[in-house]
Structure formats: C-alpha cells, structure tokens
Amino acid sequence: MQDLGAKVDIINDKPNDGVVCKVLGRYKFPLYENIINRYYKKQLRLLKNNNYDFILVIRGEYTPEKTLEILKSYYPKSKLILYMWDSLGKLNTKGIEKKWDYFDRVYTFDRIDYENNKNKLSFLPLYYYEEYLPRDKKEPNCRNFKYDLSFIGTAHGDRIRIIKNMIQQCKNQNLHCFCYFYIPHPLVFLYNKCFIKDFKNVRVSDIRFRTMPFKRLYQIYNDSKCIIDIENINQHGLTMRNIEILGLKRKLITTNKDIVNYDFFNENNIFILDRNNPIIDISFLEKPYVMLNEDIYKKYSLKNWIIEVLK
C-alpha cells in the first residue's frame, strides 16, 4: 500500500503472536477479552487524531466489537472493510457474522461462503507476492527442476498422512521430493500425537517448529515442478499456496475440488486428488505446463488485490 502511495498505520490484531495469545483469543476467555480490549484502547488512543480514508481489518477473529464501535466513533467518515481468509463454520471464525454490520464492506476468500451470503459478502481470492517471484523469466517447460514434488505448510488433520503417502509414491518412481511440515509449538505436536489418529506414525524429526521465510519458500516452489496443496477438510476457499503457485507458473496437485470454478483452472496444470484415495497420476507430472493469458496472472497479484479491496 505504501509503494502505491498510501500513508499507512498498522496495529497487530492481538498483543503478540505467541501460541498463548492465539489460544486464549480463539476460545474467548473472559480475562483475555479484558486484556485485548485494553490493548486496542491503548493503540487507538495513539491514532485518534489521524484521518483515514480506509480501515482494513484482516480476518477479524481477535478484534472485539467494542473496538469496532470505537473505530466507528473515532473515524465516522472512514470506509471500514473486513477481509476474511478463513471459511465460515470453523472455530476460528465462530461468531464473525455478528461483526459484519460494523463494516461498509466484507470480503471473503471462500467462493462458497460468498455464494451462500451474496447479500452480505463480496468475493476476493488471496494473492501472490510479486516481489518474491524469481528474477529469471524462463518458462516452466524450459527449466530443469531440483524437485518433482514439494510441500511446505502446517501439519494438521489428515494432511500429513496424505502427503507422506504421496511422497512415498513419488520416491517409488525415483522422483525427487521436498517436504517441510510446520507446527507452532512442541506442545501442539504432543497434543496431536496423543489425540489425532493421523499423527500415530509421525515422528518429532518429521516436524519443524519455525516457519520458513517467504523468500526461501518461494525459492523452493520455484525449484519445483509441482506443489502439493491439501486444504483443511472444513474449508472451501483456495489457500494462499494455490495462488502463489499460479504466480510462479508451476503445476499443482490439490484436494480442493472447488478449484474447477476459478478462471485459471486448467487440467494440464492442476490435478485434483481424492483425499480418501490419494493416488497420483504420474503422467500428470510429465505433461507440459500450459501458459495462461497474462491478464489472469496479473489479476491474482498483491497489487491487484489492494486495488480491489480499497476500490
């Protein structure tokens, strides 16, 4: 936004990004609600005398209704916008509908949530970061790839079981794979190990407790012929991974069947995997990538996302 000429102030949506803050906020503990209300009051007091054309709330999970009331009173002429990058019906978004009336516009990344709430929501998928795209402009069919298949992401639900199964299939075909499973804290791993059946055969050595830096993530994706995406079983919206792969012009294997409804879907570039029977068609990896219209690539860039959300 600053690169496009805007003057921007930013407030984190919670006092810090630690696991404790996230858990207390997600389960709406009364003591924590008092803490977060005081946190927002203090932050907004510092910005009270500023004038804003737009106030953009990302996700809105931790932002209390009292804070939204303060924003409306401090900045009556500002356009208040909510962007949700999580699907309705999940624990993360429980009760979010109660906050919609505070906003001038509410966006969702989930096409099906939009279809079910057209009178209240606008649809806007996620984006890729142009600044992290590779500098070399070689088309994917003119490259020698370091990896045939790769995955980078959080290990949750049935995702880790499916991906380990896929990686083994590829190794049986002498293909090269890269895998990076992230969990935010060892205690989360221990909980999963005790209570989630798909973690029965997962070892602590399979897991990383630090997120991979964006620059490194994009480099791995750039060195990969195809990337895996296993969405949360309760989610329909396309994860950021899907859009990043589009920007990088790489192949994608995903369990998200709703991807066929997007304008960039091409069966030569995207393989839909059955999560109950995750068998890869190896011939898909051998087919050449089909280049799309350049306008489609531009449409899903961060720059275009900003222009749309602040239009």
Question: Binning pLDDT at 50, 70 and 90, where does residue 198 land?
Answer: confident
CB-based burial, 261-293: b 16+ in 10 Å, e otherwise: ebebeeeebbbbbebeebebeeebbeeebeeee
- Is residue 109 over pLDDT 80? yes
Please give the Cα distance from 309 to 57 (Å, whole number): 11
Question: Does any domain span residue 118?
Answer: yes
The pLDDT, as a whole number, for residue 14 is 82
Give the whole-angstrom CA distance, residue 307 versus residue 4.
Answer: 9
Pair (104, 149) in one structural domain: no
CA distance 226 to 176: 11
| Shared domain check, 249 and 184 | yes
Q: Are residues 151 and 240 in the same domain?
A: yes
Within this chain, do residues 270 and 154 fall inside the same structural domain, yes or no? yes
Whether 77 and 195 map to the same domain: the answer is no
Last residue of a domain, one of 76, 93, 124: 124
Tokens of 20: 């404790």
Between the CA of residue 104 and those of 59, 68, 82, 218, 286, what are the distances in Å?
A: 15, 12, 8, 35, 48
Whole-number Å distance between alpha carbons of 36 and 38: 5
Instruction: Return the structure tokens found at 217.
Output: 């993530």
Band of the pLDDT at 60, cuts 50, 70, 90? confident
Per-residue model confidence as pLDDT tens digits over 224-282: 999 999 988 878 899 999 999 999 999 999 999 999 999 999 999 999 999 999 999 99
Residue with tokens 């804290």: 185
% of the chain at pLDDT higher than 70 = 93
Under 8 Å between Cβ of 288 and 145: no
Distance CA 293, CA 289 (A): 13
**pLDDT of the residue at 21:** 66
Which two structure tokens, joined as six digits, stand for 153? 């992401």
Task: Examine the pLDDT at 134 and tell me if it is beyond 80.
Answer: no
Cα 64 to Cα 40: distance, rounded to the nearest angstrom: 9
Query: Does 73 lie in the same domain as 158?
Result: no
pLDDT of 24 strictly over 70: no
Q: Are residues 138 and 284 in the same domain?
A: yes
Q: What is the CATH number of the domain that holds 52?
A: 3.40.50
- Cβ-contact 289, 269 below 8 angstroms: yes
The answer to whether residue 217 is domain-embedded is: yes
Q: What is the residue range of 213's domain?
A: 130-299
Q: What is the pLDDT of residue 133?
A: 80
Q: Are 242 and 255 in contact (CB under 8 A)?
A: no
Q: Are 248 and 134 in contact (CB under 8 A)?
A: yes
Residue pLDDT, tens place only, 111-125:
999 999 999 999 999
Residue 104 inside a domain? The answer is: yes
Which residue, of 96, 124, 152, is where some domain finishes?
A: 124
29 pLDDT tier (thresholds 50, 70, 90): low
d(CA 174, CA 270): 22
Q: For residues 56 and 78, is the Cβ–Cβ distance under 8 A?
A: no
pLDDT for position 88 = 87
Angle at 308 between CA 307 and CA 311, to 5 degrees: 80
Q: Are residues 145 and 262 in the same domain?
A: yes
Q: Identify the pLDDT of residue 106.
A: 97
Judge whether residue 186 has pLDDT over 70.
yes
Domain assignment present for 28: yes
* Residues contacting 20, CB < 8 A, separation 6+: none
Q: Is the pLDDT of residue 215 over 90?
A: no
Of 79, 109, 124, the residue that ends a domain is: 124
Q: How far is CA 161 from CA 180, 181, 201, 280, in A?
A: 13, 11, 9, 14
Q: How confident is the model at residue 57 (pLDDT cuts 50, 70, 90)?
A: very high
Alpha-carbon span 249 to 224, nearest angstrom: 10
Which is more confident, 172 or 17? 172
Residue 28 pLDDT > 80: no
Residue 223 and residue 170 share a domain: yes
State the total domains in the chain. 2
Does residue 306 fall inside a structural domain? no
Judged by average pLDDT, the poorest of 76-85, 114-123, 206-215, 227-236 is: 227-236
> Does the structure show a pLDDT above 80 at 142?
no
Residue 148 lies in a domain: yes
Q: What is the mean pLDDT of the chain?
A: 90
What value does the CA radius of gyration of the chain take, rounded to a whole number of Å? 21
* H or E segment to which residue 217 belongs: helix 214-222
Are residues 177 and 282 both part of a single domain? yes
